[in-house]
Amino acid sequence: MTYFRHGAIVAAVIASATTASAQTTIITREPVESRTVVTTEPLELTPVQRRTIYRTIVREHVVPTEPTVEYRVGVRVPDSVRLYSVPQDVAVEVPAIRSYKYMVVNNRVVLVDPATSQVVEEVVD
């Protein structure tokens, strides 16, 4: 009978230890350095900047790309579309667009993020 009591006590201790460990929660987080956070702020251009971009690029006489296709902000352009670097004089006056590429479609200047191939802005006269 004593063995039975000892067995019951040991079983109770093991059961309580198992219950306690089941309630333990371990949260692991990856280091801050390894996280990549990409924030893309919308490109906001003033009317003067828009006019500068449009007039300078149209003056470059770039051949229009796919005149029957319409591109909207947020749409990805195909890899087959030829994109041009922003002219230096425009990049000096409007530094916010320096890293973008552009194409001319339907008499509109379309600014494209070369990293994502997404249209970020449409500029018209």
SS3 of 1-52: CHHHHHHHHHHHHHHHHHHHHHCCCCCCCCCHHHCCCCCCCCCCCCHHHHHH
Query: Cβ neighbours of residue 1 under 8 Å, at least 6 residues apart?
Result: none
- Say if CB 118 and CB 74 are below 8 A apart: yes
* Distance spanning both ends of the chain, measured CA to CA: 98
Rounded Cα distance, 54 and 109, in Å:
6
Report pLDDT for 76. 93
Rounded Cα distance, 86 and 57, in Å:
8
What does the block give as tokens for 81? Answer: 């579309």
Report pLDDT for 117. 92
Report pLDDT for 5. 63
> At 58, is the secondary structure helix, strand, or coil?
helix
Where does CATH 3.10.450.160 sit in the chain?
47-123
CA quadruple 92, 96, 100, 105: dihedral sign: negative
Output the CATH code of domain 47-123. Answer: 3.10.450.160
Report pLDDT for 56. 85
Which residues of the chain carry a pLDDT beneath 50?
32-39
